Amino acid sequence: MIQRMVLFGASGDLTSRLLLPAVSQLAERDALPPGLTIVGAALTDWTTQDFRDHVAERLREHSPAPASAQDQVVRMLDFAPADATDAADVRRVIGEDGPSTLVYLALPPALLESALEALATAGLRVDDAVAIEKPFGTDLASARRLNELLRTRLPSPMIFRVDHFLSDELVRRVVSLRFLNRVFAPAWDTHSIERVDISWLEDLTLEGRASYYDGAGAMRDMLQNHLMEVLSLAAMEQPARLDANSFRAVRVEALRAVATPAPDRMRTATVRARYTAGTIGARNVPSYVDEPGVDPSRSTETYAALTLDLNTPRWSGVPFTIRSGKALGHPSAEIAVHFRQLPSYLTEPYVRLQTTLNGPQRTAERRELETVSTPPSMTAYAHLIQEMLHNDPMLFIRGDEAEEAWRIVDPVMLAWSSGAVELQEYPAGGAAPGPLG
């Protein structure tokens, strides 16, 4: 079990807004390894007390855990000024003959390759681990380079490629719905399902993330990783066993079955658009190109949609559409499974599930079945960190899984950069645009 965490990029928003609040949730549940210590490392010229004060303030703002759990996390913290791309700094922070360590690279994508080269000199062992935040690379070629670097330079530690959507409780319930339900399992194929739409639509705008988002866009930020992983859960076959190897293998096979998008379908199967000025509720929102930190010449999309075909008997003829966008009037996060219509001679165009219950005075009553899912007990990052501390890779991306996702997206990005698909516009607070046709 991991006994120490080293967070490179500790002064960044990810650490104080998501990672350490997640640790505080685990502290509240007494789910942390005994004696766990956390070392923050960044270029910031802080002392340990400065780091503790910064984290304490951010925990009060972002952590759902009580003050006692927050205080427990703050007491775990140390700080070491360091450059994550400098081998000497990295070796100094990690040290020699220390406890089993999780090295968390909460770094911008541009620094990842240099950081891994530096980390390769630190002598990590088989009981250590390395966590890499998404996006894993910027295209297929860079993902392959990163995987090769990890195979050859960091062969010993466990590698956790992070995509927090896989650890979200509501997303993971798709697996139970599919495989532990006698109503849905037999109907989960092309004979019953007409199409599947996976959406993550936000009414939020940039929220201060222009430095990252303007270089990534909706396709790289959401579709290539998060929504592609949700697609794999919706489309995969049942794993032979519920273990990490089996579970990850069927996800990869689902992505391998996705047909590479064809050049002649780009205008009908993909959508790229960005928001203009508008109103969302009571907020007046400026055009994306007028947001602070945005370079209009990049033509970055704030909405992306991609329709994909899977070459398997189960899904032949069933299109899967993944889409995500910002500044939309009707936010939603859903997997919408559209079942085929019943024959026209049937009067009811849908199936209603009912049960018979005891009524008053020995009568029988019929009631429609309805369920409301319970709220998640912990955040996605709390689940992620708990799995990493126990060296369980089930909820993390495999190297070939990341490459398959880029294999699907790369041709789309190439077509978009060449101007093959027009960049549409939509007003902030409006509806998502459709394909050009």
d(CA 271, CA 433): 8
Using only C-alpha atoms, the chain has a radius of gyration, in whole angstroms, of 24
d(CA 197, CA 219): 16
Cβ contacts of 381 within 8 Å, gap of 6 or more = 18, 19, 21, 22, 164, 167
Q: Contact, 223 vs 201, CB < 8 A?
A: no
Q: Name residue, tokens 């064809």.
A: 262
Q: Which of 62, 164, 191, 226 is catalytic?
A: 226
Give me the sign of the Cα torsion angle 24, 25, 29, 30: negative
Please give, one letter per residue, the 3-state secondary structure of the chain. CCCEEEEECCCCHHHHHHHHHHHHHHHHCCCCCCCCEEEEEECCCCCHHHHHHHHHHHHHHHCCCCHHHHHHHHHHEEEEECCCCCHHHHHHHHCCCCCCEEEEECCCHHHHHHHHHHHCCCCCCCCCEEEECCCCCCCHHHHHHHHHHHHHHCCCCEEEECCHHHHCHHHHHHHHHHHCCCCCHHHCCCCCEEEEEEEEECCCCCCCCHHHHHHHHHHHHHHHHHHHHHHHHHHCCCCCCCCHHHHHHHHHHHHHCECCCCHHHHHHHEEEEEEECEEECCEEECCHHHCCCCCHHHCCCCEEEEEECECCCCCCCCCEEEEEECCECCCEEEEEEEECCCCCCCCCCCCCCEEEEECHHHCEEEEECCCCCCCCCCCHHHHHHHHHHCCCCCCCECHHHHHHHHHHHHHHHHHHHCCCCCEEEEECCECCCCCCC
| Separation in Å, CA 253 to CA 257, 343, 406, 410, 414 | 6, 34, 14, 19, 24
Q: Has 226 been annotated as catalytic? A: yes
Q: Contact, 275 vs 326, CB < 8 A?
A: yes
Which residues are marked as active site? Answer: 226
